[in-house]
Amino acid sequence: MTPSPTPEPSGHEHQVEEVLELVRARGGRVTTARRQLLEALFEAPPHATAEELAGAVQVRAPDVHLSTIYRNLDELERLGVIVHTHFGHGPASYHLASSPHGHLVCETCGVTIEAPEELFAELTARAKDRFGFVIDSRHFAVVGRCAACTAAGRE
Amino acid sequence: MTPSPTPEPSGHEHQVEEVLELVRARGGRVTTARRQLLEALFEAPPHATAEELAGAVQVRAPDVHLSTIYRNLDELERLGVIVHTHFGHGPASYHLASSPHGHLVCETCGVTIEAPEELFAELTARAKDRFGFVIDSRHFAVVGRCAACTAAGRE
DNA sequence: GGCCCAATTGCGAGCTGCTTGCGACAGGCT
DNA sequence: AGCCTGTCGCAAGCAGCTCGCAATTGGGCC
């Protein structure tokens, strides 16, 4: 395969290279799969699942296997570049660690609302006071029912 | 199998029968599996997994299949008798809908702390105000790190 | 440029947690 | 006692993720 220098006009090269620098600093290698996954992470909407990211990567590099995606997501998480969240059911969702926020997920229609971290400030403080428990509000989903479903009385 | 009248000296018969009355009222039938599962739910610690409950039931009724446990857990949830919660990874946990409370789960050591619903009052109110979102604080886990793990600086 | 070696990859098999289709069985009303 | 239908046991199946292994490849060093 011809290693064309910069085949993707994505606009995120700088950020991607920055992360790859981190990878390199840790003795890691810069591979096509790695680079493409990072591209995908910067381009994709937040809350992408591993499978969705694999799809995006495979547009450019069809041979990248799902297990490679998982392994790289793992490593990026260890590096602190991304975070993954388990919503109630279904696959986990991955997003960049920058722009911290929590998630409100509707049990009825499945919609996800991004909630500013500040919304959790009081809960976080109280949990710390009362239980010494340090909440990571980016890493879990708050479930319930969204305004539309509540109004419609759906079940 | 001989249908012995009351073979278990559990102390929860009354509550069990109450729920079975609900089941009957809905056209449901009272089966051994159903009754034993309810016994198990009342006797077990909160946060039992389906597999644990199956184990408990099978002590008395070895032929009860795991799929039957799942089907009955589903129905009991529809009846509002129990609630299930997805912690980060691993199996879901089931507990009685009475005694409402949230859960703080440590990502590091896995310990689960029961948090009074009141802890979530302010978050619930804010989510309602700002997003019209009605939080069900019993149905999700708040993850983070417990006091012990924070102190020990474990990872 | 070529070599070498460990990091990484593709692939398939495997695992956990849960769901489903199906035929047999059994509550419970009459 | 008999019928009807809810429920059950079982086995197969599915989603989401993990692992072992041999083949490949990045990249430091001549």
Domain ranges across chain B: 13-85, 100-152
* pLDDT level of residue A155 (50, 70, 90 thresholds): low
Taking CB atoms and an 8 Å limit, are B127 and A150 in contact across chains? no
Report residue B9's pLDDT band, with 50, 70 and 90 as the boundaries. Answer: low
- Range with the lowest mean pLDDT among A16-30, A50-64, A137-151, B71-85? A137-151
Report chain A residues whose CB lies below 8 A from the CB of B107. Answer: 136, 139
Report the mean per-residue pLDDT for chain B: 88
* Mean pLDDT across A121-150: 90
A100-152 matches A13-85 in CATH topology: no
Q: What CATH number does the domain located at B100-152 have?
A: 3.30.1490.190
A13-85 topology per CATH: Arc Repressor Mutant, subunit A (1.10.10)
**DSSP string for A57-69:** HHHH-TT--HHHH
Cβ B16 vs Cβ B35: under 8 Å: yes
Mean pLDDT in residue range A47-52: 94
Find all residues with CB under 8 Å of A66, minimum gap 6, and list them: A50, A51, A54
Note the pLDDT tens digit of each residue in A100-110.
Answer: 788 898 888 88
The lowest-confidence range among A65-74, A109-118, B1-10 is B1-10
Model pLDDT for residues B18-69, shown as the tens digit of each residue: 999 999 999 999 999 999 999 999 998 888 999 999 999 999 999 999 999 9
How many angstroms separate the CA of residue B143 from the nearest CA in chain A?
A: 6
Looking at the C1' of nucleotide D24, which residue has the nearest alpha carbon? A31
- Beta-carbon contacts of A33 under 8 Å, excluding residues fewer than 6 positions away, are A57, A61, A64, A68, A69, A72
Tell me, yes or no, if B43 comes closer than 8 A to chain A by beta carbon: no
Alpha-carbon torsion (A47, B90, B93, B147), positive or negative: negative
CB contact under 8 Å between A142 and B130, yes or no, is no
